[in-house]
Amino acid sequence: MQANRVSDLWRAGVALRVRLEWQARSEGHLALRSTERSVVAIFQAATTYTLGNGRSTCFWCDKWLNGSSPMAIAPDVYAAVSVRKRKTTVAEALMGDAWVRHVTGPRTMQVLLQISQLCDLLDGVQLFEQPDTFTWSLTADRNYSAASAYGAMFLGSSSPLGAKQIWKTSAPPRVKFFFWLVMHGRCWTADRRFRHGLQESNTCVICDQEAETMDHILLGCSFSREVWAAWVQRLHLQSLVLLQEQGAIQWWLSTRKRLPKMIRRSFDSLFFLIGWLLWKERNGRTFNREATSAAQMDVLIHEEIDAWCLAGDKQLRSLLALL
C-alpha cells in the first residue's frame, strides 16, 4: 500500500497555469501572457532572464534589468504608465527611448529622479540577434516543471501535526484520506451539522449521551472505549496506552511514542483500522438504523485485519503475532 498525498487543487491549478506562461514566453507568444497575479508572481520569482533581441521580455514587469524590473526600480514611474503600455517589450521600449514617452501625468521630482535612475541603468543595455532566454531556478536542469512550481508555493509553510505520519501509515488510501479529513476537521459529524444549522441535535447517535465529534466517535464514546479496551488488553498494552477524552490525532501520536519502536507502525495501522470501522458503525446507525454490538464489532475488526493482511499490510501481520 503506497502513500498517497492529497494535492492542494488551487495550488496545482496555479502551477499548471504557470506552465502556460512558461510556454508563451519561451515560444514568443506574448499575446498569451497571463494577467493572473499568482501566476505572474511565481513566474517572476522563479525565472531568470537573459536578454537577447528583447522581443519576448516585458520591459516594465519582467526582472531583466540587473535582476530586477523597472516596475520595482521606479514604482512612481511605473504608476504613471498606462495599462496598455505596460505590456511593451524591451525591444519596443528601447527603440528611440520610447519608454520615456510611456510616462504620462505630472512630472514630479520623485518621478524625474526615478526616470534619471532608469536612464543610467539602461545606458549600457545592448540587444542581440538571438532570442531572449529564460531559465527556471527551481530545477537542476533549469527547465520548468509543474512539481517544482507546486512545491514552491509551500516554501516556509509547516505541515499540520500528524500529516507526515498519516501518509506513511500502512492503510488503504481511502482510510488515510479519511484520517486526513479528521485531522482537518472536515468530517460531517452531528456536531458539525448542528453548528451549520443542518440538524436539530448534536447528540452522538451511538451512545446518545454527548456531542458527536470525531474525537468522541474515535475515543470518547462508551462504545468506542469498550472496543478499544478489548484490544488494549489483548495486545498487553494496558500500561502503555491510556484511553482518555482528548483529540484523536493527538492521542494517537502521543500513544505511539510510548510504545516500543518495533510495534509503532503496527499500532498505527490498527488505530486507523479501528477508527475507520467506528466511523462506518456511526454511519450505519445514522443512515441505515443498523446497530452492531461491541462483540460483533470485534469480529468485524478481525475480518478487516485479515483483509488488510491479504492486501499486503505487513505491519498488521506482525501485530497478529502478539495476540
pLDDT band at 27 (very low <50, low <70, confident <90, very high): confident
Q: Do 168 and 99 lie in a common domain? A: no
Q: Do 172 and 309 lie in a common domain? A: yes
Q: Do 272 and 130 lie in a common domain? A: no
**Structural domain ending residue among the three candidates 113, 129, 152:** 152
- Residue 133, helix vs strand vs coil: strand
Q: Do 143 and 27 lie in a common domain? A: yes
304 found inside a domain: yes
pLDDT in tens, 56-106: 899 999 999 988 999 999 999 999 998 889 889 999 999 999 999 999 878
- Residue 103, helix vs strand vs coil: strand
Q: Do 210 and 235 lie in a common domain? A: yes
| Grid coordinates belonging to 128 | 542581440
For the residues 171-178, what does the mean pLDDT come to?
Answer: 94
Q: According to the model, what pLDDT value does residue 2 have? A: 38
Looking at the 3D structure of the chain, how many domains does it have?
2
Q: Which residues contact 266 (CB under 8 A, 6 or more apart)?
A: 315, 316, 318, 319
Please give the residue range of the domain that contains residue 230: 163-320
Q: Which residues contact 76 (CB under 8 A, 6 or more apart)?
A: 108, 110, 111, 114
- Residue 84, helix vs strand vs coil: coil
pLDDT band at 242 (very low <50, low <70, confident <90, very high): low
Is this structure's pTM higher than 0.85? no
Question: Using an 8 Å Cβ cutoff, are 224 and 278 in contact?
Answer: yes
Q: Do 169 and 146 lie in a common domain? A: no
pLDDT in tens, 261-273: 888 999 999 999 9
**Structural domain ending residue among the three candidates 128, 152, 176:** 152
Q: Angle formed by the axes of helices 37-46 and 9-26, to 10°?
A: 60
Q: Do 167 and 304 lie in a common domain? A: yes
Q: Is the dihedral of CA 216, 217, 221, 224 positive or negative?
A: negative
* 91, 104, 316 from 123: Cα distances, Å: 14, 22, 71
Q: Do 93 and 236 lie in a common domain? A: no
- Residue 148 CB burial class (10 angstroms; 0-12, 13-18, ≥19): middle
Q: According to the model, what pLDDT value does residue 178 have? A: 95
**pLDDT of residue 5 exceeding 60:** no
**Structural domain ending residue among the three candidates 105, 131, 152:** 152
Q: Do 108 and 215 lie in a common domain? A: no
Q: Do 117 and 62 lie in a common domain? A: yes
206 found inside a domain: yes
Q: Do 106 and 146 lie in a common domain? A: yes
